[in-house]
Amino acid sequence: MKLKITGTLIQCIGRKRIQNENDNINLYIKIISNNFLGGKETQIKKRLLMANFLKKHTIKEFILEFPRQYDFSNIVYDVVVKENDKSTKKINGLMVFKCEEDLKEIELIKDFGKYGYCEYLKNIFCINFYRVIEEQNKIDQLEKYLESIVGKKLFKEEQKELAKLVNIKRDGKLLKSYGSLNAYFLEDNINFIIKTNTDWNRKLDDGTKNKQYGKTYWIVCNIDK
């Protein structure tokens, strides 16, 4: 059993009929982030918690346990009990099973890492190659900028500017070291590398005093050239 988000996608693709051996499609899929999946996971766990509580307690106890939060619609259904013409609430076993299966699939997706949903679909559909359009656009712009500053000495302020443009973070903090930027370039197949050196020129080409004397700078190099 698949998550609604993947199950619906599989059904839609399944409606495509192969016309000939060269038939193919361009498939565009909205990315589902790990943050979104984490939110879904929290919601599902809450529903299962409520369902499991209701299995062992009365409706009154259930409502007291989850004041203003309970929602019977997704975890229970009405069963008419003929005695005294009363009805009660009982667990929807199929819905509980679906929630449990959804949790398993979410865990599988998250195990694939940063682009877990993309990698999961790649695995399901045996896709050889995919690209994230937003990320590719970001990389294209970054590569264009890097090409424009190749060979230029980047001192402290220019280094900060480049780090902000690359915008990689860990624990919410912007990573600014050239080592972190190089690791990002390598991981995303961006064919540039940052090298570092110290400016020991006392004078500039025009003969004026070099205010950056003794300071460390970065040099961006295109490794394809």
SS3 107: helix
Tokens of 60: 């009154």
User: What would the 3-class secondary structure string for 108-151 be?
Assistant: HHHCCCCCHHHHHHHHHHCCCCCCCHHHHHHHHHHHHHHHHCEC
SS3 19: coil
Whose CA is closest to 109, among 101, 11, 135?
101
Q: Is 88 exposed, middle or buried (0-12, 13-18, 19+ CB in 10 A)?
A: exposed
Give Cα separations from 192 to 5, 73, 136, 161 (angstroms). 37, 55, 16, 17
Helix 116-125 with 4-14: angle, nearest 10 deg: 40
- 225: Cβ contacts below 8 Å, ≥ 6 apart: none
Phi first, then psi, for residue 216 (nearest 5°) are -80, 140
| pLDDT mean values, one per 10 residues, the chain (225 residues) | 63 73 74 85 88 84 77 61 63 85 89 84 79 81 94 94 90 91 90 95 90 94 84
Q: Is 73 exposed, middle or buried (0-12, 13-18, 19+ CB in 10 A)?
A: exposed
Rounded to two decimals, what is the model's pTM?
0.56
In this predicted structure, what is the pLDDT of residue 115? 80
Return the domain boundaries, the chain: 4-125, 133-222
In this predicted structure, what is the pLDDT of residue 35? 85
Helix and strand element counts for the chain (H, E): 8, 7
Residue 29 identity (one-letter amino acid): I
In this predicted structure, what is the pLDDT of residue 52? 87
Tokens of 151: 């060979």
**Which tens digit of pLDDT belongs to each residue from 64-123?**
888 776 666 666 665 555 556 666 667 888 888 888 988 998 998 888 887 888 888 888
